[in-house]
Amino acid sequence: MTDIPANQAIIVVENLRSQFGTNLVHDDLNLTIEKGVITGIVGGSGTGKSVLLRTMTGLKKPEAGSVKILGVNPFSETKGGLGLARKWGVLFQDGALFSSLSVLDNIRLPMKEQLGIHGQFAQELAYMKLFLVGLDWTVGQLMPSELSGGMRKRVALARALALDPEILFLDEPTSGLDPIGAEKFDELLLELTHALGISVVMITHDLDSIFKICGNVAVLADGKVIVDGKLDKILKFDHPWVQEYFGGARGRQVQAQQQNK
């Protein structure tokens, strides 16, 4: 693990500008992500949540500004920049499992591609990741088409954990799951982050997840992060979208449920 104290910055985004042609997505966006915290990124449709995630993981180079992950520029051609992807895992919205590969081969793939680990050792490591997300060895032999939605998410999480990352990037991890499946996935994520000390950046629209597992929340609107921090701070922030999203009927219901637990 990188020697960064808990609650210190592991991701720093400064003065970010992102655009596609003339379409400006982010303009002077600033965000700091703390180590050891589950940070939820929320915002309305079209606010650039997924674009921000792609930028932080080195898939979308910004037009201006800077991004530092664990103190390193993910777009750098230096040894540090090129090796940075080994320090994070990504769970895409639909799982993005390779349909032609078995569950076990999906999990082994990053080990093979990034670390050159093959054979029996890779298989044992893959099974360990499978057990870590609450699935047994028989699932390893299945194909993605044979998995339920909840199992697919867990397998994708196991693959994201394949390289023992310091950071997990999750794009709508509970999307498409029924309420029971979503709650179980949240509980699993919380257990794993506490047990492994992983930092999590999670794009989500799921209010249950936000109130249950997010230590910090960042709200995107108007091309920027308009507010970030603990939920208490977010709930008091005077912005129409924030008040409608968190203070509407659904938001009040979830708050009441969490307070009664």
Cα–Cα distance between 146 and 148 in angstroms, integer?
7
Please give the CATH topology (third level) of the domain spanning 9-75+85-259.
Rossmann fold (3.40.50)
Phi, psi of 229 (to 5 degrees): 140, -160
What's the distance, CA 17 to chain centroid?
Answer: 21
The per-residue pLDDT for range 160-215, each reduced to its tens digit, is 999 999 999 999 999 888 888 889 999 999 998 888 889 999 999 999 999 999 99
Residue type, 193: T
Cα 211–Cα 97–Cα 99 angle in degrees, nearest 5 = 145
Neighbours of 92 (CB within 10 A): 16
- The answer on pLDDT for 47 being more than 80 is yes
Rounded to 5 degrees, what angle do the CA atoms 259, 201, 155 make?
A: 95
* pLDDT score of 248: 77
Q: Please, which residues bridge with residue 83 across strands?
A: none
CA 34 to CA 12: how far, in whole Å?
9
The CA-atom distances, in angstroms, between 204 and each of 18, 82, 97, 238 are 20, 28, 20, 21
pLDDT of residue 255: 74
- Between the alpha carbon of residue 253 and those of residues 174, 184, 188, 192, 206, the distances in Å are 19, 19, 23, 27, 13
Residue 20 burial by Cβ neighbours in a 10 Å radius (0-12, 13-18, 19+):
exposed
Q: What's the number of CA atoms in the CB half-sphere (13 Å) around residue 254? A: 19
Q: Are 173 and 202 in contact (CB under 8 A)?
A: yes
Question: Is the model's pLDDT at 1 over the cut of 60?
Answer: no
pLDDT confidence of residue 79: 55
Beta-strand pair 216-221/224-229 = antiparallel
Rounded Cα–Cα distance for residues 47 and 185 (Å)? 26
Q: Tell me, what's the pLDDT at 6?
A: 61
Inter-residue contact 218 to 41 (CB < 8 Å): yes
Residue-wise pLDDT for 118-134, tens only, equals: 888 888 999 999 998 98
List residues bridging with 217 in a β-sheet: 40, 229
pLDDT, mean over the chain: 88
Q: How far apart are CA 138 and CA 96, in angstroms?
A: 21
**Average of per-residue pLDDT across 211-237:** 94
Would the pLDDT of 143 be above 70? Answer: yes
Higher model confidence: residue 200 or residue 75?
200
pLDDT of residue 27: 94
**Among the ranges given (98-102, 113-117, 209-213, 252-256), the one the predictor scored with the smallest mean pLDDT:** 252-256
- Which amino acid is located at 92 in the chain? F
Backbone angles phi, psi at 174, to 5 degrees: -100, 5
pLDDT of residue 252: 75
